[in-house]
């Protein structure tokens, strides 16, 4: 890579607007598109979303689980989707939420953040709940190859609060300690760090400090999960300019027509842009 992930994402967000669209082929979505719930339907779904949105939104986020459920043939489709999107110039954030220790973490890094791998994406989502230091092989591999990672911090699922908002001995929440660790990794990097954070758009005013993060904020939960673009400024405060809102079902349900998918993505982008724009 000639440019780091953070720099490429900043350019994409500035040029195409603040929007990430998921590729989440739920069985119900496949059915609503008139597709079979099998590898053939999966392949058609991924190909159509790629045709509709590649190069038109800042990032596209395939959810690995919906491909993995079909075994090796589903993974082959995921490889094809990633290849199609990246060859078009789209940034791909692969939603895999991996996290482990030692050589296993390094193996995950090789799988998703090594340009020689057919599953290599521009960034992946990772879980820090074996300790932030356990992610070091993944972060090192990402930085070595000009790629990125998004670390779960404050997720939109209600079960997450028991862990993420628990207090450490120094009084900080677990989520804040993660945010602070990422801030150190991103310190001094311009225009945007390569390690981002995942904070749900539905979590409300968090009371967490994001000023020094210097990295992108992936914000899922908009649309079907109840998050609204107008909530983004309240949730993220002064860091809102670095927020990458993520929409899935609200955009995907407009398919399978390419034009309808593009129109839905445009509506989502305009809604997010109007909520995020920072006035002087």
Taking the C-alpha atoms of residue 96 and residue 58, their distance in angstroms, rounded to an integer, is: 19
| Cβ pair 51, 23 in contact under 8 A | no
Report residue 41 as tokens: 């339907």
Taking the C-alpha atoms of residue 128 and residue 177, their distance in angstroms, rounded to an integer, is: 11
| Cβ pair 10, 123 in contact under 8 A | no
Taking the C-alpha atoms of residue 178 and residue 99, their distance in angstroms, rounded to an integer, is: 14
Rounded to 5 degrees, what angle do the CA atoms 76, 108, 200 make?
90
Fold for the domain defined by 5-276? TIM Barrel (3.20.20)
Predicted model pTM: 0.95
Nearest of 216, 217, 220 to residue 201 by alpha carbon: 220
Report residue 185 as tokens: 């990794």
Map residue 41 onto helix, strand or coil. helix
| Cβ pair 179, 195 in contact under 8 A | no
pLDDT of residue 139: 98
pLDDT of residue 202: 85
Positions of the chain with pLDDT lower than 50, given as ranges:
279-280
Q: Dump pLDDT digits (tens) for 116-156.
A: 999 999 999 999 999 999 999 999 999 999 999 999 999 98
Map residue 124 onto helix, strand or coil. strand
Taking the C-alpha atoms of residue 97 and residue 68, their distance in angstroms, rounded to an integer, is: 13
DSSP state of 101: -
DSSP state of 172: -
Q: CA dist 207 to 86, 165, 175, Å?
A: 36, 10, 11
- Residue 252's region, left for phi above 0, alpha for psi from -120 to 50, else beta, is alpha
Taking the C-alpha atoms of residue 276 and residue 18, their distance in angstroms, rounded to an integer, is: 8
pLDDT of residue 70: 98
Domain boundaries along the sequence of the chain: 5-276
pLDDT of residue 280: 37
Catalytic (active-site) positions: 97
pLDDT of residue 241: 93
């Amino acid at each position: 890579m000639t440019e780091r992930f953070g720099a490429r994402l900043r350019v994409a967000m500035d040029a195409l607007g603040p929007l990430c669209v998921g590729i989440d082929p739920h069985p119900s979505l496949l059915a609503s598109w008139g597709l079979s719930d099998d590898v053939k339907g999966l392949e058609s779904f991924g190909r159509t979303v790629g045709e509709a949105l590649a190069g038109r939104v800042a990032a596209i986020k395939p959810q690995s689980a919906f491909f993995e459920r079909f075994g090796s043939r589903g993974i082959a489709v995921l490889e094809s989707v990633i290849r199609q999107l990246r060859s078009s110039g789209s940034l791909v954030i692969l939603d895999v939420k991996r996290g482990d220790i030692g050589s296993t973490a390094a193996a995950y890094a090789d799988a998703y953040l090594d340009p020689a791998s057919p599953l290599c994406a521009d960034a992946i989502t990772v879980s820090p709940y074996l300790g932030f230091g356990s992610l070091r092989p993944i972060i090192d591999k990402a930085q070595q190859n000009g790629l990125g990672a998004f670390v779960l911090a404050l997720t939109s699922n209600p079960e997450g609060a028991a862990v993420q908002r628990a207090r450490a001995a120094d009084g900080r929440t677990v989520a804040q300690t993660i945010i602070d660790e990422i801030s150190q990794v991103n310190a001094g990097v311009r225009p945007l760090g390569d390690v981002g954070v995942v904070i749900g758009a539905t979590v409300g005013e968090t009371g967490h400090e994001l000023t020094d993060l210097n990295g992108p904020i992936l914000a899922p939960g908009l649309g079907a999960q109840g998050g609204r673009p107008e909530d983004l400024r309240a949730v993220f405060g002064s860091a809102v300019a670095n927020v990458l809102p993520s929409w899935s079902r609200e955009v995907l349900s407009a398919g399978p027509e390419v034009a309808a998918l593009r129109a839905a993505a445009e509506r989502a982008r305009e809604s997010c842009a109007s909520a995020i724009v920072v006035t002087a």
